Amino acid sequence: MDKRRNITAILGPKGGVGKSTISANLAIALSGMGKKVVAVDLDLGASNLHAILGIKATPKSLSDFTQNRVETLDEVILRTPLGDLGIICGGDDPGIANMPYQRKVKLIQHLSSLNCDLVLLDLAPGASHNVVDFSIIAQQSLLVTTAEVPSLLNVYSFIKSAVFRRLTFFFKQKRSTQLLELLNRAMESENHSHLKTVDGFFQEACLLDPSISDSAKRMLARLRPIVVINRLRTENDIKAGEVIKKLLKEYLSIDTAVIMTIRDDDAVGKALARLRPIMIDSPDCPFCQDIRKIAFMLCRRQQELSTRACIVKYKRKHMPAALK
Ligand SMILES: Nc1ncnc2c1ncn2[C@@H]1O[C@H](COP(=O)(O)OP(=O)(O)O)[C@@H](O)[C@H]1O
Ligand SMILES: [Mg+2]
């Protein structure tokens, strides 16, 4: 099985929206469902995942791997008393966030081959090179935001740049200079208003190269972002999901986004102050109920992705090209 199918990235445009809290507790929820999980703190230089999991001492960390003190990433997994859950703590050496590219490639290779059912990557805020490089190996991504309009707009821009990055990569791979030029024009959409939406872009792209633009459309249709709106307080906050869905559909032609919500819950801060994971401290609180819903959804999607991959593999192997 392709191990990449196991990786879920937790990311988002802003700090302080709950990425690490969600990563830690999702990891516990998934291990409680019988999965073998490894949670990896990749907020390099600002790591706190271990503290949310209630781990005080970190005898080994990512630094031991990036500084070549150990051979494999497996050696820096800390076992926790929380079911079959291991954690890779963030490194503490000052240069870790700017590790040389070759070292990052090695880390990515080892992350992709960790021996477990699910790997959760707790990433730094924003879309720095590190975040992009690590999130690219993930099969699923949870984009975490709060319900405030500026945060929602940030998430929209975040998904928009992911769409443009994928299209750029795709057209480069297909060596289609004319579609790359069109894409560059679309990126400056203030000057080309008909290219402002992905739909507008494809209308023009189809005239230039119908075959490549059709495959690009199919590639984008497979994008199914999961947006997690955290710290919901009011009924009105729930509408935030509709806002983001509408933006994604209208401008990016994405109508497959999944919106999940997590309620604001005082129990989260209380558990943190006691240095105990909230999943253990108050397993039935609203926050934990919402986290478990996300854990179920992730498992279901992972199952779907594996089934789809098996079908594609089977077709490649056994069916004549005409029937595929
Ligand atoms: N649903 C929630 N209800 C209450 N507090 C929360 C919730 N989610 C996160 N927090 C709090 O928000 C703060 C930031 O969370 P954190 O996970 O560190 O954010 P990030 O990793 O995105 O920087 C923490 O103090 C955390 O306890
Ligand atoms: Mg964090």
- CATH number for 27: 3.40.50.300
230 and 202 within one domain: no
- Of 116, 113, 159, residue with least CA distance to 137: 113
Task: DSSP letter for 54, please.
Answer: T
Note the pLDDT tens digit of each residue in 184-236: 999 886 767 788 899 999 999 999 999 999 999 998 888 888 999 999 999 88
Beta bridge partners of 123: 42
35 Cβ inside 6 Å of ligand 1: no
Mean pLDDT (the chain, rounded)? 90
Residue type, 122: D
Q: Of 174, 206, 222, which residue sits at a domain end?
A: 222
Q: Are residues 49 and 123 in the same domain?
A: yes
Model pLDDT, residue 246:
92
Report whether 117 contacts 3 (CB < 8 A): no
Question: Residue 66 above 70 pLDDT?
Answer: yes
Ligand 1 pocket residue status of 274, Cβ below 6 Å:
no
Contact 77, 38 (CB under 8 A): yes
pLDDT at 280: 93
Smallest CA-to-CA distance from 146 within 293, 18, 32 is with 18
- Pick from 196, 222, 248: which residue ends a domain? 222
Shared domain for 45 and 115, answered yes or no, is: yes
Task: Looking at the CA of residue 232, tell me the nearest atom of ligand 1.
Answer: 1
218 and 316 belong to one structural domain:
no
| Model pLDDT, residue 317 | 72
Higher pLDDT, 179 or 97: 179
Rg (CA), the chain: 21
pLDDT at 308: 72
* Residue-wise pLDDT tens digits, 1-14: 455 568 999 999 88
Q: What is the pLDDT of residue 300?
A: 92
pLDDT of amino acid 24:
97
Which atom from ligand 1 is nearest to the alpha carbon of 231?
Answer: 1
Collapsing DSSP states into helix, strand and coil, what is residue 218? helix
> Residue 1: what pLDDT?
47
Whether 323 shows a pLDDT value over 70: the answer reads no
Looking at the fold, whether 276 and 178 belong to one and the same domain comes out as no
Residues 257 and 136 placed together within one structural domain of the fold: yes
Q: Give the mean pLDDT of 266-280.
A: 95
Nearest-atom number in ligand 1 for the CA of 48 is 18
Percent of the chain with pLDDT over 90: 66
From the DSSP assignment, how many helices (H) and strands (E) are in the chain? 13, 8
Mean pLDDT value across residues 153-161? 89
Residues 129 and 244 in one domain: yes
191, 222, 253 — which closes off a domain?
222
Shortest CA distance to 48 belongs to which of 68, 27, 21?
Answer: 21
pLDDT digits (tens, 9 = 90+) for 226-253: 999 999 999 888 889 999 999 999 999 9
Q: Which of 19, 21, 230 to mutate to test the pocket of ligand 1 (most atoms within 8 A of CB)?
A: 21
pLDDT greater than 70 at residue 320: no
Q: Does 166 lie in the same domain as 124?
A: no
81 and 210 in a common domain: no
pLDDT of residue 324: 54
- Give the chain's domain count: 2
Q: Which residue has the higher pLDDT, 42 or 91?
A: 42
Same domain, 168 and 29: no
Cβ of 287 closer than 6 Å to ligand 1, yes or no, is: yes
The pLDDT of residue 132 is 84
Quote the pLDDT of residue 91. Answer: 82
Tell me which of 99 and 290 has the higher pLDDT.
Answer: 290
Residue 22: give the domain boundaries: 3-146+224-323
Whether 259 contacts 229, CB under 8 Å: yes
Whether residue 55 has its Cβ less than 6 Å from ligand 1: no
Q: How far is CA 316 from CA 2, 309, 322, 324, in A?
A: 16, 11, 11, 8
